[in-house]
Amino acid sequence: MQVRKIWQEETLESLSSYRNLRDRHKEIIPEIIKFVEVNQPILSEWILDQWVEDRNLGRVQLWEGDWRVIPMPLNVVGTTTTEDDFELSEMVSFVELFNTTTEKVKEVLPQLTESMKELCPTFYNAIKEDVDGELLKSCTISKLSPGTKINPHNGDIDSLRLHFPVIEDEGAWLSVRGRKRTWKVGELFAFHDNDKHWAQHHGTHDRVVVIMDYALSQLEKKGITIEKWEEELAI
């Protein structure tokens, strides 16, 4: 049986952001770690809602344990530098995701934008072309602590998701449609966010990755599609 290919790194190889992140990861990782350290109060305060609405199952528990997510707002598609930008921004969803208020999001996200530009210049320049081209629509840092489980779920139907490992732990893994993979520094991987995926952490220290979502609709305008197929393996 032919099914859509699970791992989609080759789909993004023509993009400057992917190549820059892959080739300059040794320079970028210390910047991300510093960004997390400086913005630790936000990471501690903004706790992702454990319960989400599933279109098939209704309200379900998404994760158990200690999972922290901090946004890295992007100009054009994710920034909130002005109120007008905020109203048009997909970051409005953070109000619901973090069970917070519009006022708090308007206060915090511009601070994070400036913090990212100041502390992560190599990272920011690495992705800037694809941010300006509106291919990248969101960017977050995900910190998964030992003992945490992210339950099976389907994400955004218009997102090709890229993981950029910052801190690895061989006891932490991600499964997409039943194919398990561990995070390795220097190895980026991508998958369709709408494919069912889940994660568990049985290791000893925090696993940190940067998660970037590319808009499939925008990629298709550039002639980039993910309609690549492979034989489905028995699981």
Question: How many independent structural domains does the chain possess?
Answer: 1
Answer whether residue 36 is part of any domain: yes
Name the percent of the chain in helix, strand, coil, to the closest 5.
35, 30, 35
Answer whether residue 229 is part of any domain: no
Answer whether residue 233 is part of any domain: no
Answer whether residue 51 is part of any domain: yes
Flag whether pLDDT at 108 surpasses 80. yes
pLDDT 10s digits, 165-212: 999 999 999 999 999 999 999 999 999 998 999 999 999 999 999 999
Query: What pLDDT, on the 0 to 100 scale, is given for residue 216?
Result: 92
CA 104, CA 119: separation in Å to the nearest integer? 22
Average pLDDT, the chain: 85
Answer whether residue 16 is part of any domain: yes
5-14, 101-110, 141-150: least confidently modelled range:
101-110
Answer whether residue 152 is part of any domain: yes
Answer whether residue 234 is part of any domain: no
Residue 62 · residue 99 · CB < 8 Å: no
DSSP strand pairing (149-153 vs 179-182): unpaired
Answer whether residue 231 is part of any domain: no
Give me the CATH number covering residue 65.
2.60.120.330
Long-range contacts of 116-124 (CB under 8 A, 24+ apart): 116/35, 116/72, 116/73, 119/31, 119/34, 119/35, 119/38, 120/28, 120/31, 120/32, 120/34, 120/35, 120/72, 121/31, 122/24, 122/27, 122/28, 122/31, 123/21, 123/28, 123/31, 123/32, 123/210
More confident residue, 156 or 57: 156
Query: What pLDDT, on the 0 to 100 scale, is given for residue 86?
Result: 44
Instruction: Give me Rg for the CA atoms of the chain.
Output: 17
Domain housing 193: 2-224
